[in-house]
A and B are shown apart, each in its own frame.
Chain A
Amino acid sequence: GVCPVVYMQGSTRRVGIMTDIHRRFLQLLMTHGVLEEWEVQRLQNHCFKVHDRNAAVEKLEDFINNINSILESLYIEIKKGITEDDGRPIYALVNLATTSVSKMATDFAENELDLFRKALELIIDSETGFASSTNILNLVDQLKGKKMRKKEAEHVLQKFVQSKWLIEKEGEFTLHGRAILEMEQFIRETYPDAVKMCNICHSLLIRGQSCETCGIRMHLPCVAKYFQSNSEPRCPHCNDYWPHEIPEVFDPEKEREAGVSKSTRKSLRSRQH
């Protein structure tokens, strides 16, 4: 069936049309918590292949915008972000209205959700964006719901890592890009005084670099872009010399080459039958 074009009140956005290509895409997208851009592209290609081999695969951005125009009335969207460590683009289906009907609420028990909340607060309050395992586990007695032992809490933290809500590095935990994509609005509203913001992109900052003189902060990928090919990086706010190492800008081509050379060798082997 075709849904008539609807002009939503107050918005000039034209609502697109769903076909089975878009539906399959959404269904399969929902089986992931978060995806990298190449995975989303692969998914789109697959859906076109299944339903309309001959059609040219639409540009990903337009394809997603089309779907989002329809998802708008359901208060969800396919949101794009970048990871805080190396700036790679990621996508997740996120809730636009801050209700509690969420993926996370279903997958975890009350005490587990509270453990996450505690870890989140420690992460936000920290200087580095990391909370140590020890500090998180020490709060286990304060959790709502069923009593949880430290050993169990360690296991729960690993569950968060596996389902991509947290990242672990050397016994310390920070937010996964997925969590930031999903919860940015919630975090900014709930902890308005404690949150840090990036001086460049003006979104939530959990990890990044900061100016030692004036204290402004920037995401690593924002630093990379801002200071790209700048031999004398200076703080955009106070002009003092920027003391940190400038990371590389994320290059999807370089990534793909590294991956392709492995898979080309593999497919060449199979073609030799």
Chain B
Amino acid sequence: MLSKPRGRGRPSPHTDRDRGGGGRGDETPSTSRGPGSAQETPGSSWSLSASAPAPGARTQKQLELKVAELVQFLLIKDQKKIPIKRTDILKHVIGDYRDIYPNLLKLAAERLQYVFGYELVELEPKSNSYILVNTLEPMEDDAEVRGDQGTPTTGLLMIVLGLIFMKGNTITETEVWDFLRRLGVYPTKKHLVFGDPKKLITEDFVRQRYLEYRRIPHTDPVDYELQWGPRTNLETSKMKVLKFVAKIHKQDPKDWPAQYCEALADEEKRARPAINAPASLLNSEMGSEGLGQGSGTQRHRAKE
């Protein structure tokens, strides 16, 4: 939807359901800044056409609308697979409702889980950036009914993740290309399916937090090391990647005993609650009250 031309109010959220105090419980009312002071920043493609909340109170509908905007924002941003920063959320969606940001985020997280099956997870503790993790198991046949081909580039990602894991969780960039060359994938040549493999691996996947890419000091010519990024551990597992590698080789995961043991240990760690579980939103932003559902303890991963 295109943002409406300035000067036009949008359908008024000021309904007659304005309960005294705005139904927000104990929060102090936000200071009113008057109409027209909304968050339209030049250059921002998210300029809200919402008018600032009425002095003192916010209606139930305004809150609902705010949560709805937040849910949409998170869904759309996540489709790009780039972690969503708290600063962006505050700037582009929350605005004047900053005082109840934790509540809004919690409500949005609930909706995302209940309606769409996505868990809102903080990428790393205290990073203030979030991703959506699918709590539904992806199915092979999903590919036939998707509208976005699930990106063929994920094949390349899986290969690189597999390489890294099989080589002991870290690998040099040189080693990566030595391997990929054998598959007809080169850093300097455009690839029919992957386009620009060098950019994908060293930039896109890194930005999406699937990979970590660090310069190895004192190397000449300069070389880099690649490791799994924080998103990888949230979206997949060592066991899954090992199974993928085994499948390509038409072998059994147990044919790599060292890696198999490591993957098993990782599975056990994941099954244990709380301590090693990824920082789910509901634990980090809200303290440990959380909510029963989606509180980051038991996550629904079908045991294979």
Which A residues fall within an 8 A CB radius of B?
1, 3, 9, 18, 20, 23-24, 26-28, 30-33, 35, 39, 42-43, 46, 49-50, 70-71, 73-76, 95, 97-106, 109-110, 113, 116-117, 120, 182-183, 186, 189-190
Contacts and interface: CB of A to CB of B under 8 A. Distances in A.
A26 B10 contact: no
Contacts of A24: 117, 136, 142
Contact-residue size bin, chain B (C-beta under 8 Å from the other chain) = 35 or more
B48 interface: yes
B192 interface: no
A106 B167 CA distance: 38
Contacts of B67: 74
Given A30-B75, A42-B145, A101 B46 contact: yes
23 contacts: A1-B114, A3-B114, A26-B116, A27-B136, A30-B75, A32-B146, A32-B148, A33-B147, A35-B147, A39-B145, A46-B141, A46-B142, A46-B144, A73-B64, A74-B68, A76-B68, A98-B10, A99-B10, A102-B72, A104-B2, A105-B46, A120-B2, A182-B1
B151 to A, nearest CB: 10
B5 A190 contact: yes
A113 B2 CA distance: 7
B47 interface: yes
A97 B65 contact: yes
Q: Is the interface of A mostly helix, strand, loop or mixed?
A: helix
Given A98-B10, A106-B80, 17 more contacts: A1-B293, A20-B117, A20-B136, A27-B134, A28-B145, A46-B142, A74-B67, A95-B1, A97-B69, A99-B10, A99-B48, A100-B47, A102-B72, A104-B2, A105-B1, A106-B79, A116-B2
Interface in B79-123: 79-80, 92-93, 111, 114-118
B31 to A, nearest CB: 23
- Among A75, A97, A182, the one with the most B-chain Cβ atoms within 10 Å of its Cβ is A97
B148 A31 contact: yes
B68 A98 contact: no
Nearest to A33: B147
